[in-house]
Amino acid sequence: MRILIADDEATSLRLLERTLQRAGYEVTVVGNGREAADQLCSPDGPQLALLDWGMPELDGPGVCREVRRQPNQRYVYIVLLTARNSKLDIVEGLESGADDYMVKPFNLEELKARLRSGARILQLEDKLVEAREDMRFRATHDPLTSLLNRGAIMDLLGKELTRSNRESGCTVVMLGDLDHFKIINDTHGHVVGDEVLQGVAHRLLTAMRSYDLVGRYGGEEFLIVLNNCDLAKAPERAEQIRCAIAKSPLPTSHGKLPVTMSLGVFASAQWDHLPAEEVLREVDMALYAAKAAGRNSCSLAVPALTREHTSA
């Protein structure tokens, strides 16, 4: 584990450095408080720190306060080292943000034991953060495909439509449905059907830009949201996605299976501002038109006035 030692006394600094290196730590040494704060506040800085109280530029408690002010930073476990031993000094040091406090001269074995305790606390925090992120992922992602789930993609769609309307941009929404997916399940079983859904999810992600959104809307339906996509490019992007799915048979445990997708396409620049639910109604109608046209095709949703003008 990496540890930072900050002390302006060279002899003490060298002693601590050698002791902790022999104990297996990766040691960074600095000679003043400003350097210590800069190191500890950096995104990849050490998570363990030994700080002398009295240092140039910024004292130990000052470093603690600066580190604790940083938002969204990994926790840094800080031990203050000082010759001060009054209760008021200890209270001041701990309230500045230090986790532990040792009075000089101190026993090196005790120091190493306290650092091991700090390392255990950091490891526990890492596990808690990992568990929290895992719970957040599970709450927003489909367990089979690892795409965004219906709730998450609908929430993000609503926010993107609002942003696009505010900035007079264009958001393209696509609803894709696998063609004849029931036949795959009935013929090869649901395990193979799941493999097909996972393969399709991978191809969709590969066809997306890094800032586009794709989620499993339900069953064999996928919802795609393209941010800042020009209206004129909407049919082209839909065709690219259709081709990405149909380009070659998908490998499964029962061999390679041909898979195609039909897509309904909605481009917000053609419409007055609509809530997400109405957008889904329009894009679903466009998907139905693509299915009726023979499947493995794309159909663009158009406003009612345009439809009436075209039919006239």
Task: Provide φ and ψ at 220, rounded to 5°.
Answer: -105, 20
pTM: 0.71
Mean pLDDT of 48-59: 92
Going by pLDDT thresholds of 50, 70 and 90, the confidence category of residue 104 is confident
Residue 226 has what DSSP assignment?
E
Using alpha carbons, select from 201, 266, 260 the residue that is nearest to residue 231. Answer: 266
Domains and CATH numbers, the chain: 2-139 (3.40.50.2300), 150-311 (3.30.70.270)
Q: Is 98 helix (H, G, I), strand (E, B) or coil?
A: coil
Residue 100 has what DSSP assignment?
E
- 77-82 and 100-103 as β-strands: parallel, antiparallel, unpaired? parallel
pLDDT for res 89: 86
Mean pLDDT of 33-59: 92
Measured CA to CA, the distance from residue 277 to residue 246 in angstroms comes to: 29
User: Residue 175 above 70 pLDDT?
Assistant: yes
User: Residue 245 above 80 pLDDT?
Assistant: yes
User: Residue 278 above 90 pLDDT?
Assistant: yes
Among the listed residues 35, 66, 195, 220, the single catalytic one is 220
Check if 195 is active-site.
no
User: Which residue stretches of 141-272 are H helix?
Assistant: 150-166, 181-188, 190-207, 234-246
Going by pLDDT thresholds of 50, 70 and 90, the confidence category of residue 2 is very high
Measured CA to CA, the distance from residue 225 to residue 169 in angstroms comes to: 13
Task: Provide φ and ψ at 24, rounded to 5°.
Answer: 100, 10
